[in-house]
Copies of this chain bind each other. A is one copy, B any other.
Amino acid sequence: MLIRLGYDLQFEIGQTVPIVTLLSVHPSRRHDLQGPDRVIAEPAVPATEYTDSFGNICTRLLAPPGTIRLTNSTVIQDSGLLDPASPGAREVPVEELPTETLRFLMASRFCEVDLLSPVAVELFGALPRGWSRVAAICEWVHSKVTFSYPHARPTRTALDVFTERIGVCRDFQHLAITLCRCLNIPARYATGYLGDIGVPLSDTAMDFSAWFEVFLEDRWWTFDARHNRARIGRVLIATGLDATDVAITTSFGNARLSHFEVVTDEIG
């Protein structure tokens, strides 16, 4: 399956602002790209790519006063298959976890592992370990939290989601990630493209999406507490501890988003 990917972001800049973007397809999917995947800036300011500590491709640029537009359009090859599942995948005891997964057991800005551990143990501590326990966490979060765009809030943490029971994509994933980590299951936040492929068309504008990954058996697996179902055509951009690490754009100064468009269409 071929999927067209793209975006058109525009910002109004008062004073020159450094911006870091996470808009490139993740290196693990680079071989699937059918064309270049580079942030095009108008005006054509110099942009530098670098790889962050998680292995994501970031682009830095310095936005001058006025309007700056960041666009791209490319095509990626996709298996067209649902997210891989392996219901028999086991949880790995901490002492056997690969060292690079250990950081994904820790608390982070939006994931208060220390504060939610008693709750996690009470709700899920007695369940059989493995894939089904992570699935139970997703099911719980999905059924308890109400999705609401107007209730988006950039400072909402997992504990806030647990008490308020409302939120957007990222909030669902933050709570699920935190509950996993509380049980010593490595979990990391993921962002990327997720189009309406194989599901009814959504009536809201296309956006980037958030999901999360869990380390079971011997690899990372995709989970999604927001949709709570396997999906076709996720294209990973970045992973990190939580939304802090993988914001699509981080502006170090005032940058007003004036236009936002994302394309994720199956084209053949």
Contact = CB atoms under 8 A, between A and B. Distances in A.
A144 B122 CA distance: 10
B109 A252 contact: no
27 contacts: A18-B93, A50-B99, A52-B99, A53-B53, A58-B99, A62-B95, A94-B252, A103-B245, A106-B244, A106-B245, A107-B244, A109-B109, A109-B112, A109-B114, A112-B155, A114-B154, A114-B155, A115-B155, A115-B163, A118-B144, A118-B165, A119-B163, A151-B153, A153-B153, A155-B163, A159-B163, A184-B252
A150 interface: yes
A108 B105 contact: no
Contact of A115 (B50, B93, B114, B164): B164
A78 to B, nearest CB: 30
| Copy count, this protein chain | 4
Nearest to A106: B244
A62 B58 CA distance: 37
Interface string A157-183: 001000111000000000000000000
A116 B60 contact: no
A102 interface: yes
Nearest to A151: B153
Contacts of A119: 163
A103 B163 contact: no
A255 interface: no
A93 B18 CA distance: 9
A238 interface: no
The 7 closest A-B CB pairs, nearest first, are: A18-B94, A115-B163, A18-B95, A50-B99, A94-B252, A107-B109, A62-B95
Nearest to A107: B109
